Amino acid sequence: MSGAMDFDTLRQEMADNHEQPEGPARNARAEQLLVEAEKLNIPLAVVEALGHQLKVYNYSSEKDKMFVPFARLLRMWDEHPEDFDEYEIHSLHWVFKWMSAGMLDQPHIPLASIEKWLGEMEHRYRLAGHSERAVRGAEFSVAAHLGDLERADRAYAAWLAADRDSMADCHACELHSQGWWRAERDADAEALDLWAPVLEGAYTCAHEPHTVLASSLLPLLRLGRLEEARAHHLRGFRLVRAMESMRGAYADHVEFCALSGNEARALELLAERPAYFTDSGDPRSKLDFMAVVALLMDRLTSLGLGGQTVPGPAGRAWTAAELAVHARGETLALAARFDSRNGTSYVSERARARMDRAPLVDRLPLGVRSARPAPAGRAEPAPEHRPQAAGAVAAPDLPALLAEARRLSGRRSPDVVEAWAAVSRAAEGHELTARDRAEIADHEAMGRGPEGAGLFRRAAELYAEAGDPGEALAARARAAYVHALSAGTEEALAETAELYAEVLALHARGGTGVPQTASVLIGRARAWMHRVDELESAGEAAGPDAAAATRTAGAAARELLALVGPHVGEDVALASRAAEARAMLGELAARADDAEAAVEHLSAAVDGFVSAGLPWFAVEYDSRLAGIAMQLGDAAAAERAARAALEHSGAYLEPIGHAQLHLQLAEILGAGGQLGPAAEQALEAAHWADEAGEAGTLGAWARHQLGGLLVRQGRWAEAAEVLESALPDLTAEMHGDGAIVQTRWWLGDCLTELGEHREAAGHWLRAADIARHWPEQHDHAMLAHLAAEALGHAGLADRAEQAYARAGDLWRALGNVHGLVRSLRARAWTATRTEAGLDSARELMETAVRACESALRAESASASGSASGAPEDEDARERLVAELGHTYRQFGDLVARSVSGDEEEASAGAALEEALAHVTRAIAVFTSLGDDGVGARTGAELAAGWLEADLGRPSAAAARARAVLSACAGLDGETAGARRTEAERMLGLVEGLPGD
User: What does each C-alpha distance from 595 to 327, 588, 630 come to in angstroms?
Assistant: 63, 10, 11
Q: What is the pLDDT of residues 311-334, one digit of tens each?
A: 999 989 999 999 999 999 999 999
Assess whether pLDDT exceeds 90 at residue 371.
Answer: no
* DSSP letter assigned to residue 22: S
How many DSSP H helices and E strands does the chain contain? 47, 2
Q: What pLDDT is attached to residue 142?
A: 94
pLDDT greater at residue 692 or residue 392:
692
Q: What pLDDT is attached to residue 940?
A: 95
Q: What pLDDT is attached to residue 4?
A: 67
Q: What is the pLDDT of residues 605-630, one digit of tens each?
A: 999 999 999 999 999 999 999 999 99
d(C-alpha 771, C-alpha 788), whole Å: 16
pLDDT greater at residue 541 or residue 770:
770
Q: What pLDDT is attached to residue 539?
A: 85
User: What does each C-alpha distance from 133 to 86, 101, 125, 171, 960 come to in angstroms?
Assistant: 21, 15, 10, 12, 52
Assess whether pLDDT exceeds 90 at residue 558.
Answer: yes
Dihedral Cα 123, 127, 130, 134, nearest 10 deg:
-10
pLDDT grade for 581, boundaries at 50, 70 and 90? very high
What residue ranges in 638-688 does DSSP mark as E strands?
none
d(C-alpha 179, C-alpha 170), whole Å: 14
Assess whether pLDDT exceeds 90 at residue 137.
Answer: yes
Q: What is the pLDDT of residues 813-822, one digit of tens each?
A: 999 999 999 9
In sequence order, what are the residues at sequence separation of 6 or more whose Cβ sits closer than 8 angstroms to the Cβ of residue 726?
369, 700, 703, 704, 707, 743
**Largest Cα–Cα distance of the chain, in whole Å?**
120
Write the single-letter amino acid at 181: W
Burial of 381 (0-12, 13-18, 19+ CB in 10 A): middle
Assess whether pLDDT exceeds 80 at residue 379.
Answer: no
Q: What is the pLDDT of residues 174-201, one digit of tens each?
A: 999 999 999 999 999 999 999 999 999 9
SS3 318: strand
**Average pLDDT of the segment spanning 570-581:** 92
Assess whether pLDDT exceeds 70 at residue 380.
Answer: no
SS3 434: helix
Rounded to 5°, the CA angle 573-577-580 comes to: 135
Give the chain's mean pLDDT. Answer: 91
CB 305 within 8 A of CB 268: no
SS3 310: strand
Report the Cα 56 to chain-centroid distance in Å.
32
pLDDT grade for 662, boundaries at 50, 70 and 90? very high
Q: What pLDDT is attached to residue 389?
A: 38
d(C-alpha 893, C-alpha 478), whole Å: 80
In sequence order, what are the residues at sequence separation of 6 or more whose Cβ sits closer than 8 angstroms to the Cβ of residue 123?
none
**Average pLDDT of the segment spanning 151-158:** 95
SS3 319: strand
CB 894 within 8 A of CB 923: no
pLDDT grade for 252, boundaries at 50, 70 and 90? very high
Q: Provide, rounded to the nearest whole percent, the portion of the chain with pLDDT above 90.
A: 76
Q: What pLDDT is attached to residue 876?
A: 87
Q: What pLDDT is attached to residue 499?
A: 95
Of 253-267, 692-706, 711-725, 967-981, give the lowest mean pLDDT range: 967-981
Q: What pLDDT is attached to residue 874?
A: 80
**Average pLDDT of the segment spanning 665-672:** 95
Rounded to 5°, the CA angle 515-520-523 comes to: 120
d(C-alpha 811, C-alpha 821), whole Å: 9
Assess whether pLDDT exceeds 90 at residue 790.
Answer: yes
CA proximity to 406, closest of 572, 566, 563: 572
Assess whether pLDDT exceeds 60 at residue 87.
Answer: yes
User: What does each C-alpha distance from 299 to 250, 323, 411 come to in angstroms?
Assistant: 18, 12, 41
Q: What pLDDT is attached to residue 942?
A: 94
In sequence order, what are the residues at sequence separation of 6 or more whose Cβ sits closer than 8 angstroms to the Cβ of residue 593?
none
Of 407-421, 460-474, 766-780, give the lowest mean pLDDT range: 407-421
957-991 core/surface letters (b: 16 or more CB in 10 A; e: else): bbebbebbeebbeeeeeeebeebbebbeebbebbe
CA proximity to 31, closest of 16, 17, 12: 17
Assess whether pLDDT exceeds 70 at residue 267.
Answer: yes
**Average pLDDT of the segment spanning 94-110:** 87
Q: What is the pLDDT of residues 207-220, one digit of tens each?
A: 899 999 999 999 99
d(C-alpha 534, C-alpha 607), whole Å: 29
Q: Which helix (H) or strand (E) holds 160?
A: helix 149-161
Phi then psi for 892, rounded to 5 degrees? -65, -45
Burial of 378 (0-12, 13-18, 19+ CB in 10 A): middle
Beta bridge partners of 310: 318
Q: Provide, rounded to the nearest whole percent, the portion of the chain with pLDDT above 70.
A: 95
pLDDT grade for 571, boundaries at 50, 70 and 90? confident
593's torsion region: left (phi>0), alpha (psi -120 to 50) or beta? Answer: left
